[in-house]
Amino acid sequence: MAVLTVLIEENIYGRQAVKGQISVKFLGIEAVTKANAENITSAITAGVYKGLASVMLGGKSGVVTRLTADLPHVLLIHCMPHRLELNFKDAASKNPCHTKLDALLTGLYTFYHYSSHNRANLKASFESLGKKPLMPTRATGTCWVSHLLTALDHFLQGYSAIVQHLEQVYP
């Protein structure tokens, strides 16, 4: 049974204009321990202080605000994969099936994440079926597509144990 692992890294590119000539260079990759504004800013800042530059958008207290406070000359834009992910999320949110799937995955995550009793009983269901426990995960987050894929993977692989447990809870 394969388990999907999400690794978060920021690709850092520098763009500069010298005498009207624009150049873009790949400057490096910085690992991010958790995909939130604080950690992404720290990773990019670490890259910048290693002699790198960065590109990325944020919000009021997001990456843009944090970086431009220290580096006002840096122009921040979304990378193409992130733009694609945002467009995919926007299109998916208009699909009624996606809305139902999101509600299901969020409900399962909440049901097991916030109750140690439910979590323990789900683990027992996995064990009774001879399967390795695979808890429902959050289907939302900064890296939305990878979170959704992980949550869906855990749901599909753990379907029989989840059904068994829920049938015991709600006969």
Q: Which of 43, 77, 111 delimits the end of a domain?
A: 77
In a domain, 150, yes or no: yes
Q: Is residue 13 part of a domain?
A: yes
Residues 57/77, Cβ–Cβ less than 8 Å: yes
Residue 169 is encoded by which pair of tokens? 């809870």
Predicted pLDDT at 129 = 96
Residues 106 and 58 in one domain: no
Which residues constitute the domain of residue 44? 9-77
- Same domain? For 105 and 30 the reply is no
Question: Does residue 126 contact residue 154 with C-beta atoms inside 8 Å?
Answer: no
Q: For residue 47, give both structure tokens.
A: 């890259």
The pLDDT value recorded for residue 85 is 80
Task: Give the global pTM.
Answer: 0.57
The verdict on residue 2 lying in a domain is no
pLDDT for 56: 40
43 and 30 Cβ atoms separated by less than 8 Å: yes
Instruction: Flag whether pLDDT at 2 surpasses 70.
Output: no
- The residue out of 77, 100, 120 marking a domain boundary is 77
Is residue 58 assigned to a domain? Answer: yes
Residues 63 and 82 sit within 8 Å (Cβ to Cβ): no
Of 141, 53, 61, 65, the closest CA to residue 105 belongs to 141
- Residue 42 in domain: yes
The pLDDT of residue 44: 77
Last residue of a domain, one of 77, 94, 123: 77
Question: Is 60 domain-assigned?
Answer: yes
Could you tell me if residue 4 is inside a domain?
no
- For residues 56 and 42, membership in a common domain is answered with yes
Q: Quick check: is 1 in a domain?
A: no
pLDDT-derived band at 52 (thresholds 50, 70, 90) equals very low
Q: Are residues 87 and 159 in the same domain?
A: yes
User: What is the pLDDT, as a whole number, of residue 153?
Assistant: 94
Residues 73 and 91 grouped into a single domain: no
53 with 90, same domain: the answer is no
Do 124 and 162 lie in one domain? The reply is yes
Total domains, the chain: 2
